[in-house]
A = this chain, B = another copy of it.
Amino acid sequence: MSRIDGRTPQQLRPVTIERGWTKHAEGSVLVSFGDTKVLCNASVTEGVPRWRKGSGEGWVTAEYAMLPRATNTRGDRESVKGRIGGRTHEISRLIGRSLRAVIDYKALGENTIVLDCDVLQADGGTRTAAITGAYVALADAITWAQTTKKLIKPSRKPLTGTVAAVSVGIVDGTPLLDLPYEEDVRAETDMNVVCTGDGRFVEVQGTAEAAPFDRDELNALLDLAAAGCAELAELQRKALGTVLER
């Protein structure tokens, strides 16, 4: 079976991870999974939210949003509507949880890092691209906090591992990796999987869109996702391999 863009079922879209994309943020990554492009900016501030003060532990959180015309038809701005929608809330929380899974709060110290993931162009898989890119921005921000700003001792290791995410789904009975929008809307089952670089799971969110799925289908999707995440972890390592001047 051939996919709409010619890929095999096990193949990721072309993935790029550009560091230092904007000049102000302590970590700034433009990640693209095919035509999905997400700008991930990491902001470091000394101190933590009030409920965490005096704990000696840091905090990492995330906010996800889409530009109004990131999608095929224009969506109203949530700032204009005066409220954040359920989907936005859900994805922001997912990104935050995923990144915190590889954070050692004690090593981070009482510092806060906010990850802003703004989708500039959407073509399916925006949340998984956001997690994958945000991890790299987070790593850069921590390096900055250790070397430039001296907020964290260089000997500490606030990151306990790496984290990446990918979507998988069943389209016309075939399990596929990394679905673009056109496949996504046709998927019977849709799953987002977040893995650490050592192959364990951080989040598994599978949803039956058109028809409930059985254990075999679930297993096939998990296999695909685990392989995809491993590939993304490798791309993250490569992207972080070069020194970033700031």
Task: Determine the chain B residues whose CB is within 8 A of the CB of A213 once the complex forms.
Answer: 200-201
A171 at the interface (CB under 8 A from B): no
A149 at the interface (CB under 8 A from B): no
Per assembly, the copies of the chain total 6
Name the contact of A89 in the complex, choosing from B71, B90, B203, B214 (C-beta under 8 A).
B90
CB proximity to B under 8 Å, residues A165-224: 191, 195-196, 198-208, 212-215, 218, 222
Closest residue of B by beta carbon distance from A42: B69
Contact between B67 and A207, CB atoms less than 8 A apart: no
Closest residue of B by beta carbon distance from A121: B22
Closest residue of B by beta carbon distance from A97: B207
- A interface size (C-beta, 8 A): 67
Closest residue of B by beta carbon distance from A22: B121
Contact between A208 and B202, CB atoms less than 8 A apart: yes
Contact between B116 and A24, CB atoms less than 8 A apart: no
Contact between A201 and B205, CB atoms less than 8 A apart: no
A2 at the interface (CB under 8 A from B): no
A114 at the interface (CB under 8 A from B): yes
Contact between A120 and B22, CB atoms less than 8 A apart: yes
The 6 closest A-B pairs by CB, nearest first: A86-B89, A200-B212, A78-B79, A41-B69, A43-B74, A79-B79
- 7 A-B pairs (CB sep. < 8 Å): A22-B69, A24-B72, A74-B114, A79-B83, A86-B93, A89-B89, A200-B214
